[in-house]
Amino acid sequence: MRYFIHLAYFGKNYHGWQKQPNALSVQEEIENKLSILLKKPVETIGCGRTDTGVHAKQFYLHVDLDQAIDAEIVCFKLNAMLPKDISIFEVFEVENSLHARFSAISRQYEYWISTKPNPFAVEQSLLYTKPLDIDAMNAAANLLLSHTDFECFSKVKTDVKTFICKISYAQWELKPNNFLVFTIEADRFLRNMVRAIVGTLLDIGNGKLSLIDFEQILKNKNRSEAGMSAEARGLFLSKVTYPFQK
């Protein structure tokens, strides 16, 4: 039997989602608590990876079990056992063919910037107080929709087989309380891709790069020509979409 777990986490204290030696991860925390709760070793598959310090407003994992569970009770008890920076919203049974990672049809990220100092947003946004040309940043963001190869924004020495991604939405928007938010949605993302895009778009906004420069960076497929990666603290995995949600 396959179960999906819908959750969210605040990433400050974790080295990303995925288990790794000698570093605390969200996956490790959940698997440890699930194994205690179910009294047997449990392995999970997540909908994707998030880097160290990155947050998730919405995340899904799946777990295969050899017998049925009371999903509501497991959800309640798991929340009681986990640290307060990980929250379980729902546990539900799905068809065995549904895969947390490979069945997802799109993913959405948000990058939050505070344009003025805010003590309540220190760990969940980038403080950037310099003036920005948001129209130019959105013009550059719109160019992303006409490209599919994003090697220029990928982490160097990654093990992916392709750099092809289909971006369906990319937009900057001013929010109340002095926040500037970048939202981007695609069928898949490369490692470090969103943070690299944000850093490069900030260079557009502060005049370091032009739209012509941005187009050339996309064509040249060279990570060293793009901007610095924005800090992890401002990045959120905000939405994961599956066929059963449409």
Q: Residue 48: which CATH number?
A: 3.30.70.580
Give the pair of three-digit tokens for residue 103.
Answer: 């069945």
User: What whole-number percentage of the chain has pLDDT above 70?
Assistant: 100
Q: Are the CB atoms for 140 and 214 separated by under 8 Å?
A: yes
pTM over 0.75: yes
| pLDDT single digits (tens) 44-79 | 999 999 999 999 999 999 999 999 999 999 999 999
> Exposed, middle or buried: residue 227 (CB in 10 Å: 0-12, 13-18, 19+)?
buried
Give the pair of three-digit tokens for residue 3.
Answer: 């179960």
Q: What is the number of structural domains in the chain? A: 2
Range of the domain at 169: 106-241
> Does 157 score more than 90 pLDDT?
no
Q: What is the amino acid identity at position 221?
A: K
> Exposed, middle or buried: residue 176 (CB in 10 Å: 0-12, 13-18, 19+)?
exposed
> Does the active-site annotation cover 51?
yes
Asked whether residue 155 is domain-assigned, the answer is yes
| 23 Cβ contact list (under 8 Å, min separation 6) | 15
Q: What is the amino acid identity at position 107?
A: R
| Helix pair 134-143, 211-220: axis angle to 10 deg | 30
| pLDDT single digits (tens) 120-151 | 999 999 999 999 999 999 999 999 999 999 99
Tell whether 122 and 184 lie within a shared domain. Answer: yes
Tell whether 235 and 124 lie within a shared domain. Answer: yes
> Does 246 score more than 80 pLDDT?
no
Tell whether 76 and 181 lie within a shared domain. Answer: no
Nearest of 39, 36, 13, 35 to residue 26 by alpha carbon: 13
Q: Residue 150: which CATH number?
A: 3.30.70.660
> Does 9 score more than 60 pLDDT?
yes
Give the residue from 102, 136, 155 where a domain finishes.
Answer: 102
Which one from 51, 64, 66, 149 is the annotated catalytic residue?
51
Tell whether 112 and 232 lie within a shared domain. Answer: yes
Tell whether 116 and 235 lie within a shared domain. Answer: yes
Phi-psi region at 22: left, alpha or beta (left = phi > 0; alpha = psi -120 to 50)? left
Q: Are the CB atoms for 165 and 202 separated by under 8 Å?
A: no
